[in-house]
Amino acid sequence: MTVDPDSARLVVSCPDRPGIVAAVAGFLFDTGANVTHSDQHSSDPEGGRFFLRMEFHLPGVAERLDELRTAFDDEVAAEFDMAWRIVSATAPKRMAILVSKYDHCLLDLLWRARRGELPCEVPVVISNHPDLRTDVENFGVPFFCVPVEQGGKPAAEAQMLALLRGHADVVVLARYMQILTGGFLDELGIPVINIHHSFLPAFAGANPYGRARERGVKIVGATAHYVTEELDAGPIIEQDIVRVSHRHDVDTLERLGADVERTVLARAVQLHLDDRVLVDGGTTVVF
């Protein structure tokens, strides 16, 4: 992937009111930046929230990020009560992966990262089983097995926190078949993306393909979402489906579903890495 080395992104959400775009564009103009791309959305022009994503070109921006952040906070963000971030478009994010025994999403992410299709580094893969160690290490990625014994979840989560804290910007659950506690998510303090093998909110929880077969559904799908303490209820990033029929048994549904799972997860990860996803309560704005 070729990215302008002098490009950066500004992402904003705030209560909607007149003058936001003018203030942001004026700030960038005053710094000498050239806006190259802009997306915006208002949930309601009267009393709603406003969302903005801008890409801009500024020579030497990588060395000026701290200066820009301080100035933007003082001159624009405080006045409009903004949640915001300014990031380099060239600095790869660190994407840690959690997985159990299913390998299809994991290997797809590692392959895309190695090819440069995903703008990220993979500092670590953690699994509660040892099965995928060789596959992961063949990509040159460190692999750690952290078993989750009955009654041992607190110890396992503490070990995972030690491996992740300070080493990852986002964690991706590539079919990690364990529920993460609210305490773990709070301590981790970074976004966690999950792939659920169902077109949520249908068939949340375990065995969705079996339950879909019992209901005689005509589509199965996958949902990538941010993880919250409530199981499979976090803000949705991406979804897709494939058509099925009464002729398909559960094994066939799982095989068809696996294809959808890896493409949906890859698209969701790409959107997150490109700073295109803004969370709005229980939902998302995706530019």
DSSP symbols for the chain: ----TTEEEEEEEEE--TTHHHHHHHHHHHHT-EEEEEEEEES-TTT-EEEEEEEEE-TTHHHHHHHHHHHHIIIIIHHHT-EEEEEESSSPEEEEEEE-S--HHHHHHHHHHHHTSS-EE---EEESSSTTHHHHHTTT--EEE----TT-HHHHHHHHHHHHTTT-SEEEESS--SPPPHHHHHHH-S-EEEEESS-TTTT-SS-HHHHHHHHT-SEEEEEEEE--SSTT-SPEEEEEEEE--TT--HHHHHHHHHHHHHHHHHHHHHHHHTT-EEEETTEEEE-
Euclidean distance between CA atoms 39 and 46, whole angstroms: 19
Crossing angle of helices 104-115 and 250-273, in 10° steps, is 30
Catalytically annotated residue among 232, 249, 259, 274: 232
Instruction: Respond yes or no: is residue 103 known to be catalytic.
Output: no
Euclidean distance between CA atoms 36 and 8, whole angstroms: 10
Which residues belong to the active site? Answer: 232
